[in-house]
Amino acid sequence: MSLVPAAPASSSTETATPVLLVLAGPAGSGKTTLCERAVRELPGFSRVVTTTTRPPRPGEVNGVHYHFLSPAQFDERVAAGAFLEWAWVHQQNRYGTLASSVMEPLAAGRSLIINVDVQGVGNFRRAAAADALLRRHLATVFINVPLAELRQRMIDRGQDSVGEIERRLGTAQRELAEAASFDYRIESRSRDEDFAALVEVWRAVCARVASAA
């Protein structure tokens, strides 16, 4: 993928075209930073508010940072088929994406961005196969980082033990094997280059969605 050199100036078509960008990639790939920057700098973008069973941390607001549910409430929504995807994280808490947190903003004309694991992306694809609105607006993006580079990023960050780094790299190796199944792939370099590539993806998806209208 080539990179666009410019800042994210947008045409009226791009501004008016809602899209759903679903990002995935190994830990340390920078996907969370890309999502945050897209919300700040791309017109009309919001972060998908996901749902969790973990308690709120100081300063977190229900409905803004997450939808906080008790385990019983989460179970009720799973049974009702309310989630597009959900998973256990570290065998402690569950996280998921309610269909309403995606479909309602898209129907209202808002663009959305979210980062999930590779398994979650598969669930988004299956949901899109059964829903025309989601199928039209969805694009999956993989942030690709070679294992050697990932290892160095984790070491430089200084937050994880050697054992934790090796565990994360094992997970990353399995995730990297799925890169070819994504609609777009960004070869991670610098933060600015990665964001420029994401802007190019956004423009390509806008053009595709607009042409299908």
User: Quick one: pLDDT at residue 42?
Assistant: 94
User: Quick one: pLDDT at residue 90?
Assistant: 67
User: Quick one: pLDDT at residue 159?
Assistant: 81
In a domain, 94, yes or no: no
What secondary structure, in 3-state letters, does 51-108 show? EECCCCCCCCCECCCEEECCHHHHHHHHHCCCEEEEEEECCCEEEEEEHHHHHHHHHC
List the domain range (segments joined by +) for residue 117. Answer: 12-48+109-211
In a domain, 133, yes or no: yes
pTM of the model: 0.86
List Cβ<8 Å contacts ≥24 apart for 40-43: 41/7, 41/8, 41/195, 42/8, 42/10, 42/111, 42/199, 42/202, 43/8, 43/10, 43/14, 43/15
In a domain, 165, yes or no: yes
In a domain, 194, yes or no: yes
* CATH, residue 200: 3.40.50.300
User: Quick one: pLDDT at residue 12?
Assistant: 60
Neighbours of 213 (CB within 10 A): 6
User: Quick one: pLDDT at residue 212?
Assistant: 84
User: Quick one: pLDDT at residue 168?
Assistant: 86
User: Quick one: pLDDT at residue 89?
Assistant: 78
In a domain, 178, yes or no: yes
In a domain, 92, yes or no: no
Number of independent structural domains in the chain: 1
Angle of helix 162-176 relative to helix 147-157, nearest 10 degrees, comes to 150
In a domain, 128, yes or no: yes
In a domain, 56, yes or no: no
| pLDDT per 10-residue tile (average), the chain, 213 residues | 43 77 93 95 93 94 94 97 88 91 94 92 94 95 94 87 88 92 96 97 95 82
